[in-house]
Structure 1
Amino acid sequence: MDGGILRLTGEQLVAADDYEVADHACRRVHLTDGAMAWAYLAADPLVAVERKAALLHWAAATNRDLLDPWNALAGRSDLLADGVHPTAEGDEVVWEWLNPHEV
């Protein structure tokens, strides 16, 4: 499964933490509606880099453009809550980058 949403009690969250293996880490993330949630993400940040490299390779191989909103956050680690996920302000920067005529 690529992802899913579960509503857990505090006790269940502790049990989930005990269950998860070392290749995942529980991180607090910002949702698009402004809410906060806990998410189990790859503990190794290189996984995200590898995925991006694979996407860039696919785009080049299929002669397609790749819209990469992370370019809007280049050099702006202050807008990343955990080094990967944008803060609410980071979300705004990405939105403005994707929709320059609506600002």
Structure 2
Amino acid sequence: MTDYYVTAVRYDEKKSHITHVHVRHRNRAELTVGAAMVSSREFVANLISTETANFRTAVWNTDTKVWNGGERIHVVGESFLSTDRNGQVKDNLGELKEFKL
């Protein structure tokens, strides 16, 4: 299965849910992480739900200059993304930075 990192999020105008994410391909064999691609929340949720790809959060470590992988991302409800399986139907990807389109 293909592995990806989610490294940033974009919220709707009300900041009530995630609309898009920065996704980076993680190549385990070569120990590399690709450039950011913008994907919709729904597309990522579909890939997770169909078990087509794995997604984890990741943050850039300014000291070591590498992406540090974080929590595995799950789908809650129909298409909300969360690292916490607490049953709350909302987006929750922790403290990932925000980006603008």
**Aligning the two structures, in what range does the TM-score lie when normalised by the shorter sequence?**
under 0.3
More helix by share: 1
Q: Report the structure number with the largest CA radius of gyration.
A: 1
More strand by share: 2
Structure scoring higher RCO (CA < 8 A, sep ≥ 6) equals 2
- TM-score, length of structure 2 as denominator length: 0.24
- TM-score, length of structure 1 as denominator length: 0.24
